C-alpha cells in the first residue's frame, strides 16, 4: 500500500511539473516574439478575426505541449540509457544536441502544419533579407527557450534524486545503527546465558547428580552442555543460521532441559525436511522454548506441551498450551522483542504472536 501511495505521489508531482513547464513555454513563446519583433507581429495581432486569434492561441498551446512532451520523452530515454551519475558530460552534450535538432525539426514541421491548416490569405508573401534574419532569430530564440525549460526540468530531476539519495543514506545509517544495537543485544543475551549463575548452577547440579547415578548419562549431559556453549560462542554475532543448525542446537538444549525438569514438558517437533536449508536468526528457538518454560507450570501430572513445526508458507511455528504459574514471574519481553527487531532488519515478513484459547503461538518466517 505504501509503494502504491509513493507511486501515485510521484505521478502527481510529474503531472504538476509538466503543467508548470507547459505554462512557462506557452508564455515564454509570446515573450520571445515580443522581444524579437516588438512591433511588426503585434500590430497585426489586433487586426485578425476572433476565430484566427483563438486558433493561434490554441495552436501555440499545442506547440508548447509538443515541446514539453518531446523534452520529457528525451529525458526518459536518456535516464535509462545514459544516466547523469554515469556519464554527466556525455549526457549533457548528447541531450543538448538531440534537443536542439529535435526542436528545430519540430518547429519546421509545426510551421508547415500551421500554413496547411490556416493558409496564406494574402497569397505568397514577399520575403526580404530582414524577414529571413528575423525568422532565424525567432527560431534560435525558441530553441534557447526550450533548452531553458529543459534545464529547469533537469535541475528539478537532479535535486529530487539528490534528496532521495540523501534520505536513503540517512535511512541506511539508521538501519545499520539498529542492526548493530540488536546484534549487541543478541550477543549480550548469549553472554548472559553463558555466565548466568542460575543456568550454570542448575546444569552443574544436574550433572553432579547424573554422574553419581549414571556415568554414561552424565557423560552425554556434559557433551550436550558443551554443544550449547559452543553454539552460543560461534553464532552469537551471526545474523542468520540454517534451520538445520538451529535444530541441532535445540536438540542439545532440550537434552539439558529434559534431564533438569524430567517429564514436566513434552516437546513435539515436526519439521519438513524441505525447509532445513532455510534460515532464521540464531537462538530463536531457544528463546521461544525458554519463554514458554519460564511463564508456564512444568509438572509431571500436567506437563507443558510445546509444539515446533513448519508450515507450507515457509513459517516456523512454536506453540504451547497455557499453564499459568501460581506465582507469576515478571517479564521484560526483551527476548521476543529482540527477535521481532532482528526480523524487521532481515525480512519484509514479520513474526506473528498469538495468545488465545489457552494457547500461546509464535510464527516466524524462514528466510531464503
HEC per residue, 210-253: HHHHCHHHHHHHHHHHHHHHHHHHHHCCCCCEEHHHHHHHHHHH
Distance CA 238, CA 249 (A): 14
Helix, strand or coil, per DSSP, at residue 329: coil
Q: Does the pLDDT value for residue 12 go beyond 50?
A: no
136 & 205 share domain: no
Q: What pLDDT was estimated at residue 4?
A: 46
Has residue 59 been placed in a domain? yes
State the residue range of the domain holding 144.
2-174
168 & 287 share domain: no
257 & 111 share domain: no
8 A C-beta contact, residue 211 and residue 259: no
CA atoms within 13 A on the CB side of 167: 6
8 A C-beta contact, residue 243 and residue 265: no
Distance CA 285, CA 63 (A): 67
207 & 83 share domain: no
- First vs last C-alpha separation in the chain: 24
Has residue 179 been placed in a domain? no
Q: What pLDDT was estimated at residue 11?
A: 42
130 & 58 share domain: yes
| DSSP string over 9-64 | HHHHHHHHHHHHHHHHHHHHHHHHHHHHSSSHHHHHHTTS-HHHHHHHHHHHHHHH
205 & 346 share domain: yes
Structure pTM? 0.50
Quick one: average pLDDT of 2-12? 44
17 & 132 share domain: yes
333 & 209 share domain: yes
140 & 272 share domain: no
Distance CA 216, CA 211 (A): 8
Distance CA 26, CA 16 (A): 15
Q: What is the mean pLDDT of the chain?
A: 76
Whose cell is 548419562? That residue is 217
Distance CA 216, CA 109 (A): 96
Q: Does the pLDDT value for residue 280 go beyond 60?
A: yes
Determine if residue 328 is left, alpha or beta; phi over 0 gives left, psi from -120 to 50 gives alpha, anything else beta: beta
Angle, to 10 degrees, between the axis of helix 284-294 and the axis of helix 243-261?
A: 30
Has residue 184 been placed in a domain? no
Has residue 230 been placed in a domain? yes
Which residues are CB-neighbours of 35 under 8 A, at least 6 positions away?
Answer: 141
Has residue 87 been placed in a domain? yes
More confident residue, 32 or 98: 98
Whose cell is 506465582? That residue is 327
| DSSP string over 123-134 | -SPPP-HHHHHH
Q: What pLDDT was estimated at residue 135?
A: 63
Which residues are CB-neighbours of 161 under 8 A, at least 6 positions away?
Answer: 84
More confident residue, 339 or 353: 353
Which one of 143-147, 267-271, 300-304, 330-334 scores highest in mean pLDDT? Answer: 267-271
164 & 221 share domain: no
69 & 208 share domain: no
Quick one: average pLDDT of 43-63? 68
Q: Does the pLDDT value for residue 30 go beyond 90?
A: no
- Tens-digit pLDDT profile for residues 162-220: 777 777 777 777 777 666 666 656 655 554 454 455 566 677 777 777 777 888 888 88
Provide, rounded to the nearest whole percent, the portion of the chain with pLDDT above 70.
Answer: 73
Has residue 36 been placed in a domain? yes
Residue 217, domain CATH? 3.30.565.10
Lowest average pLDDT, out of 27-31, 64-68, 223-227, 364-368, goes to: 27-31
Has residue 191 been placed in a domain? no
Choose the final residue of a domain: 174, 206, 233: 174
The three cell numbers of residue 146 are 526550450
Count structural domains, the chain: 2
Choose the final residue of a domain: 141, 174, 207: 174
Has residue 183 been placed in a domain? no
276 & 349 share domain: yes
Whose cell is 499453564? That residue is 323
Lowest average pLDDT, out of 57-66, 126-135, 148-157, 241-250, goes to: 126-135
Distance CA 28, CA 68 (A): 13
Distance CA 112, CA 116 (A): 6
Amino acid at each position: 500500500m505504501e509503494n502504491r501511495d509513493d507511486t501515485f505521489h510521484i505521478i502527481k508531482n510529474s503531472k504538476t511539473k509538466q503543467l508548470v513547464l507547459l505554462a512557462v513555454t506557452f508564455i515564454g513563446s509570446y515573450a520571445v516574439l515580443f522581444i524579437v519583433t516588438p512591433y511588426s507581429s503585434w500590430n497585426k495581432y489586433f487586426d485578425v478575426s476572433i476565430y484566427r486569434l483563438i486558433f493561434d492561441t490554441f495552436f501555440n498551446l499545442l506547440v508548447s505541449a509538443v515541446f514539453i512532451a518531446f523534452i520529457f520523452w528525451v529525458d526518459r530515454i536518456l535516464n535509462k540509457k545514459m544516466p547523469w551519475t554515469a556519464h554527466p558530460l556525455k549526457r549533457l552534450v548528447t541531450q543538448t544536441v538531440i534537443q536542439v535538432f529535435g526542436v528545430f525539426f519540430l518547429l519546421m514541421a509545426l510551421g508547415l502544419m500551421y500554413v496547411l491548416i490556416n493558409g496564406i490569405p494574402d497569397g505568397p508573401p514577399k520575403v526580404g533579407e530582414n524577414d529571413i534574419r528575423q525568422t532565424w532569430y525567432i527560431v534560435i530564440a525558441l530553441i534557447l527557450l526550450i533548452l531553458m525549460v529543459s534545464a529547469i526540468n533537469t535541475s528539478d530531476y537532479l535535486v529530487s534524486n539528490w534528496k532521495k539519495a540523501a534520505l536513503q543514506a540517512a535511512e541506511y545509517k539508521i538501519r545499520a545503527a539498529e542492526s548493530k544495537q540488536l546484534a549487541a543485544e543478541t550477543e549480550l543475551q548469549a553472554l548472559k546465558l553463558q555466565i548466568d549463575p542460575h543456568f550454570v548452577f542448575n546444569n552443574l547440579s544436574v550433572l553432579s547428580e547424573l554422574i553419581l547415578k549414571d556415568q554414561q548419562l552424565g557423560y552425554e549431559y556434559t557433551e550436550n552442555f558443551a554443544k550449547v556453549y559452543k553454539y552460543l560462542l560461534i553464532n552469537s554475532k551471526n545474523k542468520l543460521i540454517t534451520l538445520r543448525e538451529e535444530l541441532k542446537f535445540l536438540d542439545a538444549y532440550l537434552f539439558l532441559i529434559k534431564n533438569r525438569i524430567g517429564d514436566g514438558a513434552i516437546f513435539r517437533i515436526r519439521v519438513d525436511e524441505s525447509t532445513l536449508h532455510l534460515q532464521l536468526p540464531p537462538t530463536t528457538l531457544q528463546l521461544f522454548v525458554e519463554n514458554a518454560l519460564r511463564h508456564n507450570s512444568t509438572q509431571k501430572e500436567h506437563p507443558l506441551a510445546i509444539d515446533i513445526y513448519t508450515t507450507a508458507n515457509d513459517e516456523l511455528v512454536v506453540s504451547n498450551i497455557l499453564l499459568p504459574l501460581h506465582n507469576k514471574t515478571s517479564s521484560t519481553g526483551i527476548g521476543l522483542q529482540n527477535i521481532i527487531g532482528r526480523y524487521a532488519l532481515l525480512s519484509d515478513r514479520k513474526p506473528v504472536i498469538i495468545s488465545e484459547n489457552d494457547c500461546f503461538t509464535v510464527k516466524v518466517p524462514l528466510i531464503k
